[in-house]
A and B are shown apart, each in its own frame.
Chain A
Amino acid sequence: MHAHAQSEIHRHPLIAFVARWLLTTNHKEIGTLYLWLSFLLFFIAGGMAMLIRAELFEPGIQLLHPEFYNQMVTLHGLVMVFGAVMPAFVGLANWMIPIMIGAPDMALPRINNFSFWLLPFAFAMLLSSLFMEGGAPNFGWTFYAPLSTTYGPPSTDYFVFGVHLMGISSVLGAINIIVTILNLRAPGMTLMKMPLFVWTWLITAFLLIMAMPVLAAAVTMVLTDRHFGTSFFAAAGGGDPVMFQHIFWFFGHPEVYIMILPGFGIASQIIPTFARKPLFGYRSMVYATAAIAFLSFIVWGHHMFATGMPLAVELFFMYATMAIAIPTGVKVFNWVATMWQGSLTFETPMLFALGFVMMFTIGGFSGLMLALVPADFQYQDTFFVVAHFHYVLYPGAIFGTMAAVYYWLPKWTGHRYDERLGKIHFWLATIGVNLTFFPMHFSGLAGMPRRVVDYSLQFADFNRISSIGAALLGLTQLLFLYIVIKTIRGGEKASDRVWEGARGLEWTIPSPAPHHTFETPPALARVLDAQPTPAEPAGAGAGATLR
Chain B
Amino acid sequence: MPPVRTIWKAGLRRSHPRAVMLASGLLWVVSDVRAAAAFDMREGVTEISRRVQALHHLSFAVCVVVGIIVFGAMFYSAFAHRRSRRPEPAHFHDNKRLEVLWTLIPTCILIGMAIPATATLIEIEDNSDADLTVLITGSQWKWHYQYVDAGFGYYSNFNIPRGQIDNLQAKSAHYPLEADRPLVLPTNKKVRFLTTSRDVIHSWWVPDFAVKQDAVPGFINEAWTRIDKPGVYRGQCAELCGKDHAYMPVVVDVRPEAQFDRWLSTQKQALALASQEAVAARNKQWSMAELLPRGEDVFVKHCATCHQTTGLGQAGKYPALSGSPIVTGKIEDHLNRVMNGKAGTEMQAWAPQLSDLELAAVITYERNSWANRTGDVIQPLTVYQAR
Contacts and interface: CB of A to CB of B under 8 A. Distances in A.
Interface in B30-61: 30-32, 34-36, 38-42, 48, 51-52, 55-56, 59-60
B70 A361 contact: yes
B41 A456 contact: no
B121 A365 contact: no
Contacts of B210: 374, 377-378
Interface in A449-477: 449-462, 464-465, 468
Interface string A506-547: 000000000000000000000000000100000001101111
Nearest to A456: B177
A354 interface: yes
A345 interface: yes
A59 B171 contact: yes
B92 A369 contact: no
A379 B86 CA distance: 45
A344 B201 contact: no
17 contacts: A61-B167, A67-B243, A241-B219, A277-B90, A278-B93, A281-B95, A307-B214, A308-B216, A310-B125, A345-B82, A374-B51, A374-B121, A375-B41, A449-B238, A465-B26, A544-B93, A544-B94
B29 A276 contact: no
Nearest to B60: A369
Contact of B121 (A314, A446, A451): A314
Contacts of A345: 82-83
Given A447-B42, A464-B29, A282 B93 contact: yes
Interface stretch (A90-98, A145-153, A165-173, A400-408): A145-153
Contacts of A65: 314
Interface string B216-260: 111101100000000000011111111111110000000000000
A111 interface: no
B344 A457 contact: no
Closest 4 CB pairs of A and B: A235-B218, A133-B316, A308-B221, A442-B39
Interface stretch (B112-120, B263-271, B361-369, B379-387): B112-120
Interface stretch (B100-108, B278-286, B287-295, B325-333): B100-108
B212 interface: yes
Interface string A310-335: 11001100110011011001101100
Interface stretch (A41-49, A134-142, A202-210): A134-142
A147 B200 contact: yes
Contacts of A443: 39
Interface string B131-166: 000000000000000000000000000000000111
B370 interface: no
A151 B200 CA distance: 8
A308 B52 contact: no
Given A61-B165, A241-B216, A242-B219, A461 B77 contact: no
A374 B52 contact: yes
A155 to B, nearest CB: 10
B203 interface: yes
Interface of A: 58-62, 65-67, 70, 73, 132-135, 138-140, 144, 146-147, 150-151, 153, 234-236, 240-242, 275-282, 284, 306-308, 310-311, 314-315, 318-319, 322-323, 325-326, 329-330, 332-333, 336-346, 354, 357-358, 361-362, 365-366, 368-369, 372-375, 377-378, 380-382, 442-443, 445-447, 449-462, 464-465, 468, 533, 541-542, 544-547
Given A151-B345, A459-B35, A445 B41 contact: yes
B31 A542 contact: no
A247 to B, nearest CB: 15
A280 to B, nearest CB: 5
A240 B219 CA distance: 8
B1 interface: no
A542 B118 CA distance: 39
B222 to A, nearest CB: 7
Contact of B59 (A329, A369, A456, A542): A369
A322 B113 contact: yes
A358 to B, nearest CB: 6
Contacts of B247: 454
Contacts of A275: 81, 89
Nearest to A545: B95
Given A314-B121, A457-B34, 20 more contacts: A60-B165, A61-B165, A70-B245, A135-B316, A144-B201, A146-B200, A146-B201, A151-B345, A241-B201, A344-B77, A346-B82, A365-B67, A377-B124, A381-B203, A449-B205, A454-B246, A454-B247, A456-B176, A468-B29, A546-B98
B89 A336 contact: no
A247 B29 CA distance: 43
B174 interface: yes
Contact of A460 (B32, B240, B315): B32
A308 B219 contact: yes
A236 B103 contact: no
